[in-house]
Amino acid sequence: MPGLSTASSRPLLVRFGALGDMTILTVMIRRLYERFGVPVDIVGSGGWTRPLLEGQPGVGELYLVGSRRWPYWVSAEQWRWTRTLRARGPGPTWLCDQYNGKISRVLKRAGWSPAHSCHYAGIQDVPGPHMCDLWQRFAFRNPQVLGGNDLPLPQGEKAHGILDVSVAQRGALDAWLQSRKLHDAPLILIQVGNKRTMRRGSPTRSSNSKYWPEENWAGVLRGLRTLHPDHAILLLGVPQEAELNDEILRIATIQNAYNIAHEAPIPRLLALAERALGTISVDTGPAHVVAAVGGSVVTLFGKSNPELYAPRGPDARVICLTGIYDGEPSMLGISVEQVLSAWQANLRAAT
């Protein structure tokens, strides 16, 4: 139903997701953009959302929120947020989180009625189990203000996330690589950490389903060095993951490998993902970013189901590894040899 033109009638998409969640959501953003021919405004949170989505095709205004934990009556931020949305004006809205009570109350205060919004729950005809399939289908659901009936799902390519890398991001990466004396080096990316690993407590605790031992990662680095003696190996992450990266490099004792956890903001990550030969990662946000720019990634899964959350992207080469340990799904059941074998299989698929 094209023809939405004013800011208040543009599609509004609400999703409070992590980096990987927002990357997967790009399939829905693009589909809504194609449907209506106008940018999609997004309500979200997190320091990653703006650098990830700003400037991407189909993305309009980003309304970002910090903490949603405080009750409304003591939250000046939620008051400002309500005023901002009221000034925008109510329009067709897609709610993409499981629990929407608080955001629904804020939207009501800003002038929204139940007829403006629809929720992804209850979709019955998703063509596959993956979250990309769900978001693509949800993009063709309508709130009551647009008639309330689901539109037929158009036939076409497999649903996947997609992120464009800008000329400015490529240029900034070139300058950074020059400063690190890595401009001529082919690159391999490694993502070891994730938010579960970096929480308080021992990384080997049973609740950390995304932990793979440091010795295993060191074995992968040594194997990559044998396979690719001239490649620079970059260990990604956020600053909190730098110490973990350092420990793995200490164990691996290889040359031309670098911990860039303090130097990997989202725009640089996008450009690195596009440029690198490939990536090996736990099931976490950067794996989805790599796939969304069309890169190659081997992803280690713990308890999460790759049928739901495997990285997807345009022409991406993705292999998901799972393992069993003590009778349960676990990364601890994945061997170094399996990871290196999957890496080589991805390289063969590129030729």
Interval 64-101: pLDDT, tens: 987 667 777 777 778 888 899 999 999 999 999 987 77
- Averaged pLDDT of the chain: 91
From CA 286, how far away is CA 312, in angstroms rounded? 12
| % of the chain at pLDDT higher than 90 | 79
pLDDT in the model for residue 203: 60
* Sheet order of strands, 187-191 included: 257-259, 232-235, 187-191, 278-282, 296-300, 317-321
Per CATH, the number for 7-146 is: 3.40.50.2000
pLDDT tens column, 299-334 = 999 999 999 999 999 999 999 999 999 999 999 999
Q: What is the mean pLDDT of residues 200-205?
A: 52
Per the listing, tokens 């690719």 go with 228
pLDDT higher than 80, residue 31: yes
pLDDT of residue 177: 98
CA 348 → CA 62, 225, 278, 322, distances in Å?
40, 18, 12, 21
What pLDDT was estimated at residue 66? 76
Burial class of residue 351 in the structure, from the number of CB atoms within 10 Å of its CB (0-12 exposed, 13-18 middle, 19+ buried): exposed
pLDDT of residue 153: 85
Mean pLDDT, residues 278-302 taken together: 97
Reply yes or no on whether the pLDDT at 243 is more than 70: yes
The answer to whether domain 7-146 and domain 167-349 are alike in fold is yes
Q: By C-alpha distance, which of 98, 111, 89 is closest to 15?
A: 98
pLDDT in tens, 261-277: 999 999 999 999 999 99
**Residues 236 and 260: beta-carbon distance below 8 Å:** yes
CA angle (292 as vertex; 281, 5 as ends), nearest 5: 145
Coil, helix or strand at residue 280 = strand
pLDDT for res 80: 86
DSSP 3-state assignment of 279?
strand
Is 194 a residue whose pLDDT tops 60? yes
Q: Look at residue 174 and tell me whether its pLDDT is greater than 80.
A: yes
Task: Using the predicted structure, report yes or no on whether residue 158 has a pLDDT greater than 90.
Answer: no
What are the extents of the domains in the chain? Answer: 7-146, 167-349
Environment class of 80 (CB within 10 Å of its CB; exposed 0-12, middle 13-18, buried 19+): exposed
- CB-based contacts of 144: which residues, under 8 Å, 6+ apart? 114, 115, 116
CATH number for region 167-349: 3.40.50.2000
Residue 13, token pair as written in the block: 């998409």
**Buried-state track 140-163, b at ≥16 Cβ within 10 A, e below 16:** bbbbebbeeeeeebeeeeebbbbb
Q: Is the pLDDT of residue 6 over 60?
A: no
What pLDDT sits at residue 205?
Answer: 44
* Cα separation, 188 vs 118, whole angstroms: 42
Contact between residue 136 and residue 160 where contact means Cβ atoms under 8 Å apart? no
What local confidence, expressed as pLDDT, does residue 198 receive? 56
Q: Is the pLDDT of residue 5 over 50?
A: no
Does the structure show a pLDDT above 50 at 10? yes
Judged against a pLDDT cut of 60, whether residue 199 lies above it is answered with no
Q: Which of 62-76, 136-150, 167-181, 236-250 shows the lowest mean pLDDT across its residues? A: 62-76
Question: pLDDT tens for residues 208-225?
Answer: 789 999 999 999 999 999
Among 246, 333, 321, 232, residue whose Cα is nearest residue 277: 232
**Greater pLDDT, 330 or 104:** 330
Is the pLDDT at 133 greater than 80, yes or no? yes
Q: Which DSSP helix (H) or strand (E) runs through 278?
A: strand 278-282
